[in-house]
Amino acid sequence: MAHTQDEVLSGLAEIVNEIAGIPQEDVELDKSFTDDLDVDSLSMVEVVVAAEERFDVKIPDDEVKNLKTVGDAVNYILTNAA
């Protein structure tokens, strides 16, 4: 099932909120996970695994380090989700 950008962004915001306690409204496309949202490297893995489940997408370990911003993650999911 194809997702819209808004769906993926709001889904990611829920995940980031649940895992890292960041307010959902702060999770915006141009925000850096580490610098702006204070999501550390291990929480990032938790976010990735939760996103894989939610959006039926595989995000390999090598790809995780390329997902610097929320927008990077949204684009990856939009491009690769089943």
Partner 1 sequence: MTAVPQIRPVTGAAHSRIHGVGGYRPVRVVPNSEVLEWIDSSDEWIRTRSGITERRWAGPEESVAEMSVQAAGKAIAQAGITADQIGAVIVSTVSHFKQTPAVATEISLKLGCPTAPAFDISAACAGFGYGINLADGMIRGGSAEYVLVIGVERLSDMTDVHDRSTAFIFGDGAGAAVVGPSDTPGIGKVVWGSDATQKDLISQTEAWDTAFAKPDAINGSTGDEARWPALRMDGQPVFRWAVWEMAKVAQQALDAAGVTADQLGAFIPHQANMRITDAMIKALKLPASVPVARDIAETGNTSAASIPLAMERMLQTGEAKSGDLALIIGFGAGLVYAAAVVTLP
Q: Tokens standing for 47?
A: 């976010």
Ranges within 61-80 binding partner 1 (CB under 8 A) = 61, 64-65
Cα 2 to Cα 47: distance, rounded to the nearest angstrom: 20
Residue of the chain from 8, 9, 22, 48 that contacts partner 1 (CB under 8 A): 48
CB of 29 or CB of 45, closer to partner 1? 45
Q: Using the rule CB under 8 A, give the single segment among 5-13, 27-35, 38-46, 70-78 that binds partner 1.
A: 38-46
Residue of the chain from 5, 10, 34, 41 that contacts partner 1 (CB under 8 A): 41
Cα 18 to Cα 6: distance, rounded to the nearest angstrom: 18
Q: To the nearest 10°, report the CA torsion of 16, 64, 30, 56.
A: -60
Cα 18 to Cα 81: distance, rounded to the nearest angstrom: 22
Binding footprint of partner 1 on the chain (CB under 8 A)? 40-42, 44-46, 48-49, 61, 64-65
